[in-house]
Chain A
């Protein structure tokens, strides 16, 4: 079983739509949670950290559900520029214990 699982998508949504992704993790010892954005053939870039019960940054909201062991990312009012792959990353507060999901691809269409 993978440590971190994500639906690979693609999620195809129109501009202005609200879209949500989930990411499940298997180890209850996980302590830190992140969403990264990765454009095609580029490096991952930190989008949001999720340290407690949730985090909001403009159109983006991340939630953590420790009981069910998943985190979610909600994007409101999608823009064409939101098209990318979104990676979920989980850490056990140990520098050699980062676990990456394979990513969820989002296509926002006009």
Chain B
């Protein structure tokens, strides 16, 4: 079974803080994704990475950056947290080319006050 873990289940940060969310997968998958999920809006892609040090912007990259220094680890960084970044953040991974089934981590519920 694919295992995707995220560093925190719940996080509370103050406006202006720098926030790091980390995701680790144990299946040697190439592709990793960061989404946020908000009621009524579904999942929206922030960034994805298809290899170490490679990244592409998703639909809503503003206010976020990412880092992928090792294949198994994909970090999402909020440079200066704002209240509109309060959300559920989900990391996902897919396997070898030709398969588009995504496996999600347990999510981090971030509250910015």
Convert B68-107 into 0s and 1s, putting 1 for each residue whose CB lies closer than 8 angstroms to a CB of A: 0000000000000000000000100010000011111111
How many interface contacts (CB-CB < 8 Å) are there between A and B? 50
Given the complex, which residues of B lie within 8 Å of A101, measured CB to CB? 42
Question: Are A34 and B105 CB-contacts (below 8 A) given A96-B48, A96-B58, A102-B42?
Answer: no
Given the complex, which residues of B lie within 8 Å of A43, measured CB to CB? 90, 104-107
Is the beta-carbon distance between B42 and A103 smaller than 8 angstroms? yes
Is the beta-carbon distance between B107 and A42 smaller than 8 angstroms? yes
- Nearest residue (CB) in B for A92 is B100
Given the complex, which residues of A lie within 8 Å of B40, measured CB to CB? 102
Convert A39-82 into 0s and 1s, putting 1 for each residue whose CB lies closer than 8 angstroms to a CB of B: 00111111001000000000000000000000000000000000
Dominant secondary structure of chain A at its interface with chain B: strand
Please tell me if B13 contacts chain A, counting CB pairs below 8 Å. Answer: no
Is the beta-carbon distance between B58 and A32 smaller than 8 angstroms? no
Please tell me if B19 contacts chain A, counting CB pairs below 8 Å. Answer: no
- Nearest residue (CB) in B for A99 is B42
Is the beta-carbon distance between A100 and B42 smaller than 8 angstroms? yes
Please tell me if A93 contacts chain B, counting CB pairs below 8 Å. Answer: yes
Give the residues from 1 to 53 in chain B that come closer than 8 angstroms, CB to CB, to chain A. 31, 33, 40-45, 48, 50
Checking B44, B50, B90, B102 against A46 with a beta-carbon cut-off of 8 angstroms, the contacting residue is B102
- Nearest residue (CB) in A for B31 is A95
Query: Measuring CB to CB, which residues of chain B are less than 8 angstroms from any residue of chain A?
Result: 31, 33, 40-45, 48, 50, 56, 58, 90, 94, 100-107, 109
Query: Measuring CB to CB, which residues of chain A are less than 8 angstroms from any residue of chain B?
Result: 4, 32, 34, 41-46, 49, 87, 89, 91, 93, 95-96, 98, 100-103
